[in-house]
Structure 1
Amino acid sequence: MADHGERIRLVMLGGAGVGKSCIVKRFLFGTFCDRYKSTVEDLYYREYDLGSVTLKVDMLDTSGELQFPAMRRLCIATAHAFLLVYSVTCPGSLECVKRCLDEVREQRADFQDIPIVVAGNKIDMPAVHREVRVDDVTEWLYCEMPKLRVKVMECSAKEDRNIKDVFRSYLSLSKILPEASEGSGAGAGGSSGGGLKRRSSAYVSNKGSRRSASPAVSGAEAEASGSAGPAAEPTGLSRFKPRSRSLIRRSSRKAKQQMRDANDDCHVS
């Protein structure tokens, strides 16, 4: 059972224009806007009462551009779960997701234990425009990283198709609740073990000593009420306190050196 004072962080990664912001806004507010506006970093906060578990969730919507590498590294280092988004109409966006996953593997020694959902957005587009098949994505994950705790799904933020299922997938991936109905998409692998952990390879020395990792807080916090959504059980976590931007910058520099040490232990079976 999660501590009522604990919070977990879901980080959304993917290329520009694939619909990361549209997905989270459709889920939280039930809205959709077809006008594209580039995101730098937006933070949304929600609490979810699952009966036996109360979850305090930060949803971090990140930039699809690569001009903020330090911010990106810090987001990856402090995440407890990832939502990787591509567009089914753009093969290049899937390549971007693959690069994002490579970054996670490089920075997080515990990457095989992190719940990950890979979501193909824009299935509302006519079939003639589809260029990425869900079977190809699933095959890639099975072949390249069979031991990941991951699920592949397709959705449409515009038509509100499978949006709630994308976030509900974290319930089963993080072992909070039993595996529910599969819905659309397929799961690729899945390792046994507990739920989400705050421990990050960026904060672990070679001797295995731990330091508490405090997520960076930035962007706008939305206040509207949302439906039951993403969930994952933070087990054995230390209570975190929001940090100022000056502390975040210092933490980023400190973590950068520790990442180099920790990367030696990161390998794929």
Structure 2
Amino acid sequence: MAKAKAKQSLPLHKIIMVGSGGVGKSALTLQYMYGDFVEEYDPTKADCNYTNSYRKKVVLDGQECQIDILDTAGQEEYAAIRDNYYRSGEGFLCVFSVCEQESLEHTQEFRDQILRVLDDETHKIPFILVGNKVDLAHLRKVPATEAQSLAGEWRCPYVETSAKTRQNVEEVYTMLMRQIRDRKAKQQQSSSPDKDSCCVIL
């Protein structure tokens, strides 16, 4: 009973994976969760009406917490469903393939949808632009400078990953969890009453 209570009290950070089909959202998630690279897995074709959710306990900067990852594979065309998923998220990994120019262009649509749904005019939602499949250097179509420039416009980090070699996979999830944690801490500070301005009536 005590163990269950301790587990429930751990901080929970909710991450949503967004991006075009086939860019490796599921491959990144499965590599992070289980250390496996699933080359043939294509949820956009196999499970077009499914959204996969994953949760595990991790240690973030010395503190135990839980990460919840929602992979929105195949849900892009269902606006109402997609918007509900976005509302449940605390941070977003927006993934494109460095081998596909069009997938980078689509990231703008995903970002616009997220900002609209969450009504975030200040653009402070934890968000990272992720260029995946960097192991396929011979097929690369998107220069790092182009993606970095876009991330600069969005005022968010840009990280290049490979779900196959595990390059930066751990790092990108950790980076986003830190953003989420720090944002929550700021929100708690701003919502807690100022002790100095407290008025006591006797």
What TM-score results when the alignment is normalised by the length of structure 1?
A: 0.59
Q: Structure 2 CA distance, aligned partners of 1:171 and 1:11?
A: 11
Q: Structure 1 CA distance, aligned partners of 2:166 and 2:129?
A: 17
Task: Show CA shifts across 1:111-132 (max 9, x none).
Answer: 62211111111111133x2111
Q: Structure 1 CA distance, aligned partners of 2:92 and 2:170?
A: 15
* 1:227 counterpart residue number: none
Higher helix share: 2
Q: Structure 1 CA distance, aligned partners of 2:65 and 2:118?
A: 23
* 2:194 counterpart residue number: none
Q: Is the 8 A contact 2:15 2:68 kept in 1?
A: yes
Alignment of 1:210-225 (within 5 A): none
Aligned length: 176
* 1:9 counterpart residue number: 14
Structure 1's 234 and 10: CA in aligned 2 closer, same or farther, altered over 3 A? Answer: farther
* 1:158 counterpart residue number: 164
* 2:85 counterpart residue number: 75
* 2:195 counterpart residue number: none
* 2:23 counterpart residue number: 18
Q: Structure 1 CA distance, aligned partners of 2:186 and 2:21?
A: 30
Q: Is the 8 A contact 2:53 2:70 kept in 1?
A: yes
Gaps in structure 1 of 5+ consecutive residues:
177-194, 198-232, 237-269
Q: Is the 8 A contact 1:120 1:153 kept in 2?
A: yes
Q: Structure 2 CA distance, aligned partners of 1:133 and 1:85?
A: 15
Q: CA RMSD in A?
A: 2.4
Q: Percent identity?
A: 26
Task: Show CA shifts across 1:21-62 (max 9, x none).
Answer: 000111110101111322431000112234663322210011
1:43 equivalenced with 2:53 (yes/no): yes
Structure 1's 7 and 173: CA in aligned 2 closer, same or farther, altered over 3 A? Answer: closer
Q: Structure 2 CA distance, aligned partners of 1:165 and 1:93?
A: 22
Task: Show CA shifts across 1:54-76 (max 9, x none).
Answer: 32221001124533221110111
Alignment of 1:76-225 (within 5 A): 76-110=86-120, 112-127=123-138, 129-143=139-153, 145=154, 148=155, 150-174=156-180, 195-197=182-184
Gaps in structure 2 of 5+ consecutive residues:
1-7, 45-49, 189-202
Equivalent of 1:31 in 22, 28, 36: 36
For the residue of structure 2 that corresponds to 1:131, the secondary structure is: coil
Structure 1's 173 and 5: CA in aligned 2 closer, same or farther, altered over 3 A? Answer: closer
